[in-house]
Chains A and B, each alone.
Chain A
Amino acid sequence: MALLEVSNLTMHYTTRVGDVMAVDSVDFTLERGRALGLVGESGCGKTSIAMTILKLLPENARILGGQIRFDGVDLVPLSEDQMRKYRWDHISMVFQAAMNSLNPVYTVGDQILEAIQHHMPMKERAVRKRIAELFNLVGLDPAVMDQYPHEYSGGMKQRAVIAMALSCDPSIIIADEPTTALDVIVQDRILKQIDKIREELNMGMIYISHDIAVIAEVSDRIGVMYAGKMVEFADTHTIFKSPVHPYTYALMSTFPSVKGDKRELVELSGEPPNLIEPPLGCRFHPRCPRVTAVCQEQEPVFTEVANEHFCACWNQRS
């Protein structure tokens, strides 16, 4: 059984101007100790999925259907009280712009201590020892744990937030754009560090990013999102070498290959659709170079087109 099974997940936000269909019938799975990458443009729903899994949704959001099976347990019907037991202890998250994830009036150590003591009460000395171990793991000097967030550099804050996410020994970590705000060198270092930690601790990981390069480096499998729907899902190699969905193909063409064959850059006209009134049929059809009549009328079904390779398209490439 997979560690995390998301099936037919649908979630929308209610706003003054209408309902935003942020996540629509999304399916994917995550195995123990593996890394899954969710990639797509801004607003495609990848962050919304992460928030939905942890049920950290704002008041105007509603899960309309589907299941989130974590270790066999469906998280969707759980109450807030029940959900709190799963948060951080089993599934934790590294948020976008980690700089702001830390409360400025408490020391970093205190904030990690709070998380640990809530889920696994221990004597304070033991907790401090554990934090020191975590800091070593992410490449931070344990002595800085008693400092305040504003005394850390951007890279240090990122590492601290990762350490905090690891603190309760979760089975899954969701990392939302973990390196966007950092320069390329630090980015590379942190990515390698995260990957090493994942292997060492045999954790499941979900990476969310708009940057395919980052996703490519660290994911075993990739899910491509567009306008709230998952359009393709396969292992990394397949996505890059033989993508079948036109959108994935266009995305991959932007990723120049240093060693491989030259590829034509596919240009997509238009903009991602308004999720309050998405286009009928396939949401990608207004921009798709392979559009036909059926695309404009019926939504394609997310089916298995090859071994462990899923796609939702009427005219997929071969």
Chain B
Amino acid sequence: MLRYSLKRFIQMAVVLVIYATLVWFIFYAMPGDVTMKFIGNPKIKPEAIQKMRVQFGLDKPVYIQYALFMKSLFTGNLGISFNHYPRTVWSIIAERWPRTVTLFLTAIVLYYAVGFYLGKVIAWRRGGVADYTATVGGIMLWTVFTPWWCLLLIWFFAFKLDWFPLGQFVTPKVWMLAPVGSNFVFTRMLATGLFGPLAILVGWWGLRKVVHDSRTRKWLNWGVTAGILAISLLVWANSGLGKYALDILWHMGVPLIALLTIGFAGSMLLMRDSMLETINEDYILTARAKGLPERVIRDHHAARTALLPVATSFVLAIAFALNGAVIIESVFSWPGIGRTLVNAVATQDYPLAVGAYTFLGLFALIAHFAADILYAVLDPRISYKRGEGA
């Protein structure tokens, strides 16, 4: 298991290097450099442009520029943004990434939960009106033109029904006298969202080792879940940051609805196909022969095995969400990494653009890596074989 993880890690590092090279190449090595946009400007003298070129190191040969870039990348120095001068690229990214991650992580968890449940149920029923409507409806939403659908949702929920705000991610009025920045709240929310469920899972795992009687263990599991949830809520309420978090959640409303409707079909169909394959397995027949009730067979036996490909695609979805982030954030004016990237490219702020792309690439690679590990963990057959070095 360890050997396998290490092997994958090294592969990932290599790909990251290739990726960074490609990104750099696209932005910096193409004919016509960054100073080109100033050439037509009569106010800027040619000597000033030349000085700029020297300052940005653009007069050096290409391979030296590349070497310098790689070196600074490894030391974590992503340069200074052109447009947000004198802020460093890193500070901008650090400020914005929690916003993207909070929104998309929540969305993915939600639509996978919905997709998992729907896929499980309609696969078990095998055909019928529910199957047809869910499939056709889901696929139509999957292929819908995202900005169009988002505009429709904005118009409906934010304007017609007035349930949610029209865009942005915070209401300035609420935050005017806030003691902390939005980033602070975001990171705390993210931490709760990640460590809360993690704590619950650890609790369940611990109970499994200690308590052998499955019936009392089920009660204790629920107790642990409720307990951790209660503690989280109490901490938030006490810290006085509760209302800021709520404001953020309120702004996440329509984007989440959009992401949910667009995304659920993917996981639902994957789960359904996976279930249909699993249902034909012999051990499902054995489970029926054992006289177990339908729900137990469906959830405990079929769904559990069918979950494997879905779980992996979940982690990969995080990587692909970054594709969607570019689009969604632009439509909703959600100032996360996606929107930053688009703006940076549009305004030719190359250091920021390269920084944003590098961040995205790194995130995607980590997600792929986590997906591989997760699959190996979930399927005892694979970790066994891999562990043996087969």
In-complex A–B contact (CB below 8 Å): yes
Answer yes or no: B143 CB below 8 A from chain A CBs.
no
A143-180: CB near B (< 8 Å → 1, else 0) gives 00000101100000000000000000000000000000
Answer yes or no: B213 CB below 8 A from chain A CBs.
yes
Given the interface pairs A95-B286, A100-B281, A124-B214, the reply to whether A86 lies near B304 with Cβ below 8 Å is: no
When the two chains form their complex, are residues B213 and A123 in contact, meaning their CB atoms are under 8 A apart?
yes
Separation of A105 and B383 alpha carbons in the complex (Å): 12
Q: How many residues of B contact A (CB 8 A)?
A: 26
When the two chains form their complex, are residues A56 and B289 in contact, meaning their CB atoms are under 8 A apart?
yes
Answer yes or no: A114 CB below 8 A from chain B CBs.
yes
Residues from chain A with Cβ under 8 Å of B285 in the complex? 56, 95, 101
When the two chains form their complex, are residues A105 and B291 in contact, meaning their CB atoms are under 8 A apart?
no
Separation of A303 and B126 alpha carbons in the complex (Å): 44
Interface residues of B in 229-275 (CB under 8 A from A): none
B352-390: CB near A (< 8 Å → 1, else 0) gives 000000000000000000000000001111001000000
Residues from chain A with Cβ under 8 Å of B384 in the complex? 148, 150-151
Smallest Cβ-Cβ distance to B289: which chain A residue: A93
Residues from chain A with Cβ under 8 Å of B286 in the complex? 95, 101-102
Given the interface pairs A102-B283, A105-B379, the reply to whether A87 lies near B289 with Cβ below 8 Å is: yes
Residues from chain B with Cβ under 8 Å of A259 in the complex? none
Separation of A105 and B381 alpha carbons in the complex (Å): 8
B296-309: CB near A (< 8 Å → 1, else 0) gives 10001100110000
Residues from chain B with Cβ under 8 Å of A104 in the complex? 283, 305, 379-381
CB distance from B200 to the nearest CB of A (A): 21
Smallest Cβ-Cβ distance to B293: which chain A residue: A84
Residues from chain B with Cβ under 8 Å of A102 in the complex? 283, 286
CB distance from B209 to the nearest CB of A (A): 12
Answer yes or no: A118 CB below 8 A from chain B CBs.
yes
When the two chains form their complex, are residues B291 and A85 in contact, meaning their CB atoms are under 8 A apart?
yes
Residues from chain A with Cβ under 8 Å of B289 in the complex? 54, 56, 87-88, 92-93, 95
Residues from chain B with Cβ under 8 Å of A148 in the complex? 380-381, 384
CB distance from B70 to the nearest CB of A (A): 44
Answer yes or no: B173 CB below 8 A from chain A CBs.
no
Residues from chain B with Cβ under 8 Å of A101 in the complex? 282-283, 285-286
Partner of B305 from the list A95, A105, A115 (CB cut-off 8 Å) is: A105
Residues from chain B with Cβ under 8 Å of A263 in the complex? none
Partner of B212 from the list A56, A93, A124 (CB cut-off 8 Å) is: A124
When the two chains form their complex, are residues B290 and A88 in contact, meaning their CB atoms are under 8 A apart?
yes
Partner of A84 from the list B126, B212, B291, B380 (CB cut-off 8 Å) is: B291
Residues from chain A with Cβ under 8 Å of B214 in the complex? 117, 124
A87-123: CB near B (< 8 Å → 1, else 0) gives 1110011010100111111100000001101110001
When the two chains form their complex, are residues A87 and B291 in contact, meaning their CB atoms are under 8 A apart?
yes
CB distance from A174 to the nearest CB of B (A): 9
Answer yes or no: A241 CB below 8 A from chain B CBs.
no
CB distance from B63 to the nearest CB of A (A): 52
CB distance from A240 to the nearest CB of B (A): 32
CB distance from A219 to the nearest CB of B (A): 22
CB distance from A16 to the nearest CB of B (A): 15
Given the interface pairs A97-B282, A103-B305, A104-B305, the reply to whether A118 lies near B212 with Cβ below 8 Å is: no
Given the interface pairs A101-B283, A150-B380, the reply to whether A118 lies near B305 with Cβ below 8 Å is: no
Separation of A151 and B300 alpha carbons in the complex (Å): 21
Given the interface pairs A103-B301, A105-B305, the reply to whether A56 lies near B288 with Cβ below 8 Å is: yes
CB distance from B262 to the nearest CB of A (A): 31
Most buried by A among B292, B304, B378: B292
Residues from chain A with Cβ under 8 Å of B281 in the complex? 100
Separation of A8 and B288 alpha carbons in the complex (Å): 25
Most buried by B among A59, A84, A103, A104: A103
CB distance from B309 to the nearest CB of A (A): 13
When the two chains form their complex, are residues A125 and B292 in contact, meaning their CB atoms are under 8 A apart?
no
When the two chains form their complex, are residues A95 and B282 in contact, meaning their CB atoms are under 8 A apart?
yes
Separation of A119 and B283 alpha carbons in the complex (Å): 19
Separation of A54 and B287 alpha carbons in the complex (Å): 13
Smallest Cβ-Cβ distance to B216: which chain A residue: A124
When the two chains form their complex, are residues B380 and A103 in contact, meaning their CB atoms are under 8 A apart?
no
Separation of A236 and B305 alpha carbons in the complex (Å): 44
Separation of A95 and B384 alpha carbons in the complex (Å): 26
Residues from chain B with Cβ under 8 Å of A93 in the complex? 289
Residues from chain A with Cβ under 8 Å of B380 in the complex? 104-105, 148, 150
When the two chains form their complex, are residues A124 and B283 in contact, meaning their CB atoms are under 8 A apart?
no
When the two chains form their complex, are residues A118 and B304 in contact, meaning their CB atoms are under 8 A apart?
no
Most buried by A among B289, B301, B380, B381: B289
Partner of B283 from the list A56, A85, A87, A103 (CB cut-off 8 Å) is: A103
Separation of A89 and B291 alpha carbons in the complex (Å): 8
Closest 3 CB pairs of A and B: A87-B291, A100-B282, A84-B291
Question: Could you list 9 examples of A-B contacts with CB < 8 Å?
Answer: A54-B289, A97-B282, A101-B283, A102-B286, A103-B304, A115-B290, A115-B292, A117-B214, A118-B292
Q: Which residues of A contact B (CB under 8 A)?
A: 54, 56, 59, 83-89, 92-93, 95, 97, 100-106, 114-115, 117-119, 123-125, 148, 150-151
Q: Which residues of B contact A (CB under 8 A)?
A: 126, 212-214, 281-283, 285-293, 296, 300-301, 304-305, 378-381, 384
